[in-house]
Amino acid sequence: MFGRKPKASAEGPAEDRRSDSDRTLTESGPSNSQVKRATRTRKTFSLIASFLLLISVIFLILVEIGNINDRPVIRSTWFIRLDLSEVVPLSVPNAQLISSIAQTLGLKDDYYVGLWSYSGRNTGGTSEFSKPQTLYWFNPVEVITSSLLSGASIALPAEINNYLDLLRLASHWMFGLFLGGVCLNFVLIFLIPLAVYSRWAALPIAILTFLGALFTTVASILGTVIFLILSRVFNSVDQLNIQATIGVQMRDVKKGKKRGSKKAWETETVGVNEKPARGGFMGRGRR
């Protein structure tokens, strides 16, 4: 009776049963609900990243197809616009007549430059779009000269010739970077969610994402610099009245290019019905 050890149950001691159950859970791995909770944050950020890439691809496609045809949205997307409607300055005698003769010889009123081609348009008239070309670059001398009838010529500023080689090289790089950026961003829309399921895929996807952002940023900077320089060259020439405009919708009120608030122009005239300025303490006017 005394000193007799209790018989072990068929299932074994409690410690053994607990260790067996822990081992079973460890060997079976995490459940599906645990995996979902553990990767929920990464999935959310991957979906946000894919959505942002989709937006960037849409805008890059607009850059790619800008100014290749006469459709409403496409024709209004361009890098630079050259206004040659009054190419001869008004200080020259019979300037309007000479400008009209230039238009008769084939010169267009406006020239718009896109990534693949350019277009020549007449005010209230027809538009001509050049054939899209790979690695296109805008040569203003060749374009304007080719628009004129055979034997006709127009004196373009000599400063433009100094920038032609740089313009061609920078335009080729801009074309390739924009095209590479849109292709990378499109592929990454579908690749980024895969990084949630494999850590090995995270590194190459991160590298491709960096390259896509780098290509797009450098291409945008090149495009801005190229056409800013070209517009300043044209606008600084006094012998010709060529107005160059960058394709940006921001304009200045002081120069009369933007009217500002509509309320300021609806019922009042400038300098009329203006309230006297208040001055001094408690709003007393100054004499």
pTM here is 0.70
For residues 274-286, give the mean pLDDT.
39
DSSP tally for the chain: helices H, then strands E: 8, 5
Query: Is the model's pLDDT at 109 over the cut of 90?
Result: no
- Residue of 87, 112, 89, 90 whose CA lies nearest to 100: 87
Q: Please return the burial class of 163, using the count of CB atoms within 10 Å of its CB with bins 0-12, 13-18 and 19+.
A: middle
Within a 13 Å sphere around the CA of 132, how many CA atoms are in the beta-carbon half?
A: 11
Tokens found for residue 231: 């517009």
CB 118 within 8 Å of CB 69:
no
Instruction: Give 35-60 pLDDT, tens digit per residue.
Output: 677 677 888 888 999 999 999 999 99
pLDDT value, residue 218: 95
Beta-carbon count within 10 A of 185 CB: 25
Alpha-carbon separation of residue 219 from 47, 76, 117, 148, 228 (angstroms): 26, 20, 17, 32, 14
Q: Which ranges of the chain would DSSP assign to H, the alpha helix?
A: 14-28, 32-65, 72-75, 95-104, 140-147, 159-191, 202-235, 263-266
Crossing angle of helices 159-191 and 32-65, in 10° steps, is 160
CA 235 – CA 227 distance, rounded (Å):
12
- Residue of 222, 212, 215, 214 whose CA lies nearest to 54: 212
Share of the chain above pLDDT 90, in %: 30
Most confident of the following: 20-24, 36-40, 75-79, 177-181:
177-181
For residues 20-24, give the mean pLDDT.
50
Q: How confident is the model at residue 210 (pLDDT cuts 50, 70, 90)?
A: very high
